Structure 1
Amino acid sequence: MQRALVREGRRWSSAVILAVVLLVGIVLAFSPTGAAFDRILSSARFGVVHRAASGRVLVVEMDAQSAAAIKRWPWSRANYAAVVDHLRAAGASSIVFDVDLSSASDAAGDQALAAALARADGKVALPTFGQSANSRQDRIVDALPIAPLRPHVALASVSIAPDPDGQVRSMPFATMTVGTPRPSLSAYIAQRSGTAGADFPIDMAIDPATIPRLSFIDVRDGRFDPQAVRGRNILIGATAIEMGDRYATPQWGVIPGVIVQAIAAETLLRGVPVWGSWIVPFALALLSALGIVRLRSGITLLIGTIAALAGILAIVLIAQHWVQVTYPLCAALTMVALTGAACGGREIAGRFRTQRLFDESTGLPNARSLLAPVAQDMATTLVVAQLNNHDSLLAVLGSERVGDVILRVSERLALIAQEQRLYRTADRHLAFLLPSGEPVDDSLDGLRALLLQPVEVAGRRVDVAVSIGVATGQSASRERLLVDAALAADAASRAGVLWRHSVVDDQDLERSISLMGDLDAALEAGHVEVFYQPKYHLALGRITSTEALVRWRHPDHGFIGPDTFIPLAERTNRIGPLTLHVLRSVVRDLADWRVSHGSITAAVNISAKLLSDAAFNATVADILRTSGVPATALIFEVTESAAMSDPASAIAALERYRALGIAVSMDDYGTGQSTLTYLRQLPLSELKIDRSFVQHAHRNRNDGVLVRSTIELAHDLGLKVVAEGVEDADCLAFLKACGCDVIQGYFISRPVPLAQFLALLEDDAIAA
């Protein structure tokens, strides 16, 4: 069911992504933004390939050398006449001028050029172009060479139309002047025909430096090798900076107009390039997007997106440089990149949702999933299966293998859960819902034999002790049902039976409420005391710290164990005042004993509920500010399960404590499900190894390996290690050999009142 919902969700999200990508692609294909983006890409597209000119076009450049030699501007056209005669005599195939000849010059020069053109017998083409009538009008006036120059020549257009960004990327095949279509210089030289007004992309991969050139003055004076001219198309134009006529290009920067004309002619000599339809890259991008939305993992999405982008680029560049079809790229590249980004966002969001709603080690939905609001309130039965030996399994197998054990147990529970989802609601709890009235009694009894059978994990047969709790109520009250069913499972475990129905003991509830009502008064009356259990530093051989532990002597009920009233205080939101009472007592005692024992520190246990409590943390800061005791004298101990239940909040809270100067210790390490990542991220000062591993570490090989590796790991992370539960000398010797820093346990001292703790400090000082 869950997988079907996930697949359906993915289909919908994929459809939405493709619809958005399709719309964006169409908009970019027809928008100025897309065209502008393609113009930006043009330089990179031409930069992929550098191509040498064919050499069939030679530029006679009116360069700085020629300007210096002739000096007077405009030049007498007798100079052009001499150039035409020399080029014709050398066997030039054609001679094309990119020089404005639309107005008369000196009469002798004009007559000389006209005579030279007549002698050339049709080998020369002169320029025609359109220009604005004046600066105040948009009207275009056609410019032709003066009448005496026209009888024996062809007319070719030299008009160049830069793109909106000022760069030249295309050239017309022909333009209209005086009502007649005129081929462009490039089309005339290459002998290519085309429609007036239609243009073609210039191949800016052609390197201008490879176009052969001769200086105008050298040609005029006959100082050139005729072999350099014979059979070539000659293009005459200005390259000297002072003569202007320069254009910006996407690949070669600002170059003379005559060189742009030469590159355009070289382009047409290779073939006739065309503009490709946007539909081709659009279709390629759409096919790529269809493939990308099917990918799931982040790395495959990244690789798939990059491969699609590279593939489209390769196809378009091959078409441009070898097939001479130039396709727009903006829409296609944007579509592919947007698809990859959107799918990546989808996967990240899905991962966050999975991390929030699913258990990491088993993949089962967690308590948040179970407690999600329901559409319809109805009578429901909630079943909780509790792994009673979870901690032992965790110590022996590790968290990953314990996850496998839980999955095997969930497979057996699925026999009575039927089509209902199974949830991992806590480290040791599996839960599922059944409609109210479902006969679970027979099913649970029938499950007994199956649950008693060992499960196989990694080739090992493992015994799992399971007890089951059942609670019935309205589905809208799932949180209460979950608590009741968990309590029932715990009661079944203590009673040694497989399962129990939840039975709310009103008297017990009333007694708990009454007890919590007495707590505030007990704090004021001094009935709640702070005991201290020393921590012994192995290397220094003396007590260097202590842990503050709370004790309640009720005037009516006598001694009340912390295991009874602390959980009640947490459930009734009284854990804050209780912790602050302990903290104030510890700070007061620290101020007294640090006079004689200045280096002794004290640890206070902090409940998970208080880590993100702003009011509590503000009060802690006030206590430290007014106490006169340095914050470095305090250690806050947080259980591993508290730190792992909401790592982000825990990290933020613990960093605030560290900022105040308070050391942070992870208590009961090894009993939760922390990962090395979180252990590295938490701002810890020390690690306390739980007593369940320490007590028998010197006799039990598995426990010993775990303790030794934990000490090495903590030291590598720069953390001090405290081992609790040390009860004999052999255990102490083992821990000392392992390099443990500090020990705590009955072998050193039980928790004692302040006076006895001070006596221990005095004895310790005398012994030293």
Structure 2
Amino acid sequence: MRAGGTRRGTSAGSRVFLAYALASLLLVGVLGGLLVQGYRDDAARQGQDQGRAQAAVIEEMAVAPALDGADLAAGLTATQRQRLQEATDLAIFHGSVLGMRLRSFAGQVAFSDDGSTAGGIPVSDPAFRSAVGGATDVAVVADARRSAGMVIRVLQPVIAGASGQAVGVLELYLPYDGIAAHLRRQMTATYWRLGAALAGLYLVLALIAWSTSRSLRRYAARQEHEALHDALTGLPNRAAFRAHAREALAAGAATGAVGLVDLNRFKEVNDTLGHHAGDELLIVVASRLTAALGAGGTVARLGGDEFGLILPGLTREEVLALLETARAELVRETVLDGVALRIEASFGVALYPEHGAEVEELLQHADAAMYQGKRGAADIVLYDRDQVAHPAHWLVVQAELRHALERDELVLHYQPKVRLADDEITGVEALVRWQHPVRGLLAPAEFLPAAEQSGLIEPLTAWVLRRALADQAGWAALGQRWPVAVNVSARNLEAAGFPQAVAGLLAEHGAAPGLLLLEITETALAGDAETAARAVLELTALGIGVAVDDFGIGYTSLSQLRTVPVAEIKIDRSFVTGLDGDPQNQAIVRSVIALAHGLGLRVTAEGVETPEVRAWLADAGCDDAQGYLFARPQAWPHLLDLVLHPRGSGRHARAELATAPDAVTVRT
């Protein structure tokens, strides 16, 4: 598929180049033709100007003196004719004049160099009439005396004697061959220079076209690659995986398999070593899976820590043997940030055509088998209709979460937001946890996705808001007026009456709207943008603050930031972790800070874990920060106790906050 796309891009680029080259050639040809025609017109004007000047000299120096007192209508005297003949014989002999006629205004030939009294330009000719009227007409015409060649014909009035009166028309034929030869030599040299210049211009245009089309081909290929590949691992992404799977099924192989791989306890790597270590681990997994499957299989990253496998043309036994090899390769020890780790993963496999003939059906069965493996059946689970549990895992979570709301199993932990100017706490963010009766304290990632896919997110958000406002009243009674931030989802904004429900909760707890901040993810604003914007407008009209959470990883447009009245932007931790040593992320964060401040918004950086990153953010003008450097999420009484009764001061007090215990060390 990639090769076909490359060929299409190359063909399209070639067509662009050819069209550009032909268009450039046409334009250069037209330009050259216009310049050549201009040179020819200049040459003709030069011949005419030379003929006009020569005729004026002949008329003034030779003809006019010989006609003193003459009347051409009555004819010339012998003396006048003799003078004219003497005046013109030498010019005719040397070839500077080819022919001459002296004519009356009526057209009669009073004198000609060859003695004839007939011929010449007709009286009705506009050129003759122009000369009768006192003007000079010059033209390059065919030589009537020769079968080939051109002459300069001049017709002008003749001024005789001291009277200054015109007495007739002088019809003069001057040689043009010398002028033409000189002009041809000039034009030949000009043509060569013009041709060389135009050829150079065309070459430059052709090079520009070639360079442009090549850049377009490369850009198109890069865009196509990025659209179908994961930026971190370089593997095909979910869209490419589905396309490859459809191709494999359409190829008509007798048997094959589609598999899903999900890493176990991947979140713990992110929590303990940081997201950069998690990214490195994903790259290692991608490399090992690709090497284990070889050229015959396809490995894709579907998102997060989930990978997809396509194994065409293999039997059940061959599939299981190959996946066992891949699992053995995968669990080899690796070292991240000086910590030795063993990668564990759950494999779910669906065979075709045994378990389905469509991509979606196979993926669904592979997903069910994978979750069966996560529940402890085995690392590699082959789909079995009789053994795979139904409904799927997230349906189980939804059912349990519904009971959790009824039994009040949820708890809130709070993480402070610190002002970088003086390290003062300016507010806290409420982070929901689930005290599961069997699995222990669960982080949001374990149950929020299931809630998002169902109607449970609305009662869950209402519970968080109610509990957060009640807790806020508790710490306010002890003298601490901390604003509280609560995360809301796209489904909350799209729900009818959500702003009014929030207003009712504020009234129920007697809470000030200005001390509540609702954090909305970028994807929530990018979904039903009109509905989300309307909800935000209603919330802000109530005096409630609104912040854009995880900014930089979603799809918020600048127009939304300009039109939706948000108060704060929170930069996602993926841009903040290791910020002091990453020039690209530094450039992004500086731009976000400048953009937010330009719009009058505050900026909070998430995931600040080192003093170096804190110092960099403060220098860059960031307003607030959250992260383990300042405090881990914890119950508000413990947080308040550490603030009001610190056992140290300054950095020691902050260190107590940062090292205070937290049962779950992941932030959402």
For residue 184 of structure 2, the aligned residue among 268, 280, 295 is 268
- Number of the residue aligned with 2:58: 80
Q: CA deviation at 1:545?
A: 1.0
TM-score (normalised: structure 2):
0.57
Which letter does structure 2 place at the counterpart of 1:465? Answer: I
> Residues 410 and 716 from structure 1, CA distance in 2 versus in 1: closer, same or farther, beyond 3 angstroms?
farther
Separation (CA, whole Å) in 2 of partners of 1:403 and 1:413:
15
Is 2:606 the partner of 1:665? no
**Aligned 8 A contact 2:348 2:380 in 1:** yes
- Number of the residue aligned with 1:164: none
What runs of 5+ residues in structure 2 fail to find an aligned partner?
Answer: 40-45, 64-71, 102-106, 121-138, 154-172, 488-518, 597-601, 651-668
> Residues 36 and 9 from structure 1, CA distance in 2 versus in 1: closer, same or farther, beyond 3 angstroms?
closer
Separation (CA, whole Å) in 2 of partners of 1:263 and 1:592:
108
Taking the TM superposition and a 5 Å limit, the aligned residue runs for 1:611-760 are 611-614=525-528, 617-629=532-544, 631=545, 634-638=546-550, 643-644=552-553, 646=554, 649-652=555-558, 655=561, 659-669=564-574, 676=585, 678-679=588-589, 682=592, 685-686=602-603, 688-690=605-607, 694=609, 708=612, 710-720=613-623, 722-725=625-628, 743-745=630-632, 750-752=634-636
Taking the TM superposition and a 5 Å limit, the aligned residue runs for 1:324-343 are 340-343=211-214
**Aligned 8 A contact 1:365 1:423 in 2:** yes
**Aligned 8 A contact 2:346 2:380 in 1:** yes
Q: Deviation string for 1:585-624 (max 9, x for gaps)? A: 8799989999987784636354564241226623541442
Separation (CA, whole Å) in 2 of partners of 1:333 and 1:587:
70
> Residues 476 and 610 from structure 1, CA distance in 2 versus in 1: closer, same or farther, beyond 3 angstroms?
farther
Taking the TM superposition and a 5 Å limit, the aligned residue runs for 1:437-516 are 437-438=315-316, 439-453=318-332, 465-472=343-350, 473-474=355-356, 476-478=358-360, 481=363, 484-485=366-367, 488=370, 491=373, 498-501=379-382, 504-506=388-390, 511-515=396-400
Which letter does structure 1 place at the counterpart of 2:632? Answer: G
Q: CA deviation at 1:320?
A: 4.3
> Residues 724 and 559 from structure 1, CA distance in 2 versus in 1: closer, same or farther, beyond 3 angstroms?
closer
Which letter does structure 1 place at the counterpart of 2:325? Answer: G
Report SS of the residue matched to 1:422.
Answer: strand
Which letter does structure 1 place at the counterpart of 2:323? Answer: L
- Number of the residue aligned with 2:221: 350
> Residues 490 and 622 from structure 1, CA distance in 2 versus in 1: closer, same or farther, beyond 3 angstroms?
farther
- Number of the residue aligned with 2:12: 13
Q: CA deviation at 1:662?
A: 2.0
Separation (CA, whole Å) in 2 of partners of 1:672 and 1:365:
27
Taking the TM superposition and a 5 Å limit, the aligned residue runs for 1:281-300 are none
> Residues 451 and 407 from structure 1, CA distance in 2 versus in 1: closer, same or farther, beyond 3 angstroms?
closer
Report SS of the residue matched to 2:88.
Answer: helix
Which structure has the greater CA radius of gyration? Answer: 2
Q: Deviation string for 1:559-609 (max 9, x for gaps)? A: 986444312112337547755775698799989999987784636354564
Q: CA deviation at 1:360?
A: 2.5
For residue 427 of structure 2, the aligned residue among 545, 548, 554 is 545
Separation (CA, whole Å) in 2 of partners of 1:127 and 1:679:
91
Is 2:88 the partner of 1:117? yes
**Aligned 8 A contact 1:381 1:470 in 2:** no
Q: CA deviation at 1:369?
A: 0.9
Report SS of the residue matched to 2:293.
Answer: helix
Is 2:303 the partner of 1:426? yes
Tell me how many residue pairs correspond in the alignment. Answer: 526
Taking the TM superposition and a 5 Å limit, the aligned residue runs for 1:498-577 are 498-501=379-382, 504-506=388-390, 511-515=396-400, 532-537=414-419, 540=422, 542-550=424-432, 562-572=444-454, 575=457
Taking the TM superposition and a 5 Å limit, the aligned residue runs for 1:67-216 are 80-82=58-60, 116-121=87-92, 122-124=95-97, 151=113, 181-183=148-150
Q: Deviation string for 1:492-526 (max 9, x for gaps)? A: 5x85975444674226565444356679x97xx99
Identity rate, percent: 18
Separation (CA, whole Å) in 2 of partners of 1:152 and 1:393:
114
> Residues 591 and 752 from structure 1, CA distance in 2 versus in 1: closer, same or farther, beyond 3 angstroms?
closer
**Aligned 8 A contact 2:471 2:636 in 1:** no
Q: CA deviation at 1:443?
A: 2.1
**Aligned 8 A contact 1:724 1:744 in 2:** yes
Which letter does structure 2 place at the counterpart of 1:572? Answer: S
Q: CA deviation at 1:478?
A: 4.2
Separation (CA, whole Å) in 2 of partners of 1:107 and 1:713:
110
Question: CA RMSD of the aligned region, Å?
Answer: 6.4
- Number of the residue aligned with 1:602: 485
Q: Deviation string for 1:388-426 (max 9, x for gaps)? A: 666477766696x667635532442233xx423322223
> Residues 539 and 612 from structure 1, CA distance in 2 versus in 1: closer, same or farther, beyond 3 angstroms?
closer
Q: CA deviation at 1:370?
A: 1.0
Which letter does structure 2 place at the counterpart of 1:183? Answer: M
Separation (CA, whole Å) in 2 of partners of 1:620 and 1:317:
71
**Aligned 8 A contact 1:357 1:369 in 2:** yes
Report SS of the residue matched to 2:149.
Answer: strand
Report SS of the residue matched to 1:353.
Answer: helix
**Aligned 8 A contact 1:393 1:402 in 2:** no
- Number of the residue aligned with 1:382: 258
Separation (CA, whole Å) in 1 of partners of 2:90 and 2:189:
35
Report SS of the residue matched to 1:356.
Answer: helix
Separation (CA, whole Å) in 2 of partners of 1:549 and 1:15:
56
Which letter does structure 2 place at the counterpart of 1:381? Answer: A
> Residues 346 and 711 from structure 1, CA distance in 2 versus in 1: closer, same or farther, beyond 3 angstroms?
same
Which letter does structure 2 place at the counterpart of 1:365? Answer: P
Report SS of the residue matched to 1:664.
Answer: strand
Separation (CA, whole Å) in 1 of partners of 2:205 and 2:298:
41
Q: Deviation string for 1:515-562 (max 9, x for gaps)? A: 56679x97xx9997866443354764643111023367999x999864
Separation (CA, whole Å) in 2 of partners of 1:35 and 1:184:
31
Separation (CA, whole Å) in 1 of partners of 2:624 and 2:465:
23
Which letter does structure 2 place at the counterpart of 1:566? Answer: L
Taking the TM superposition and a 5 Å limit, the aligned residue runs for 1:219-258 are none
Report SS of the residue matched to 2:230.
Answer: coil
Which letter does structure 2 place at the counterpart of 1:602? Answer: A
Q: CA deviation at 1:79?
A: 5.1
Separation (CA, whole Å) in 2 of partners of 1:665 and 1:559:
26
Separation (CA, whole Å) in 1 of partners of 2:334 and 2:641:
53
Which letter does structure 1 place at the counterpart of 2:284? Answer: V
Which letter does structure 2 place at the counterpart of 1:690? Answer: G
> Residues 413 and 690 from structure 1, CA distance in 2 versus in 1: closer, same or farther, beyond 3 angstroms?
farther
> Residues 594 and 501 from structure 1, CA distance in 2 versus in 1: closer, same or farther, beyond 3 angstroms?
same
Separation (CA, whole Å) in 2 of partners of 1:421 and 1:551:
38
Q: CA deviation at 1:340?
A: 4.6
Separation (CA, whole Å) in 2 of partners of 1:512 and 1:336:
62
- Number of the residue aligned with 1:192: none
Which letter does structure 2 place at the counterpart of 1:637? Answer: D
**Aligned 8 A contact 1:671 1:690 in 2:** yes
Report SS of the residue matched to 1:488.
Answer: helix
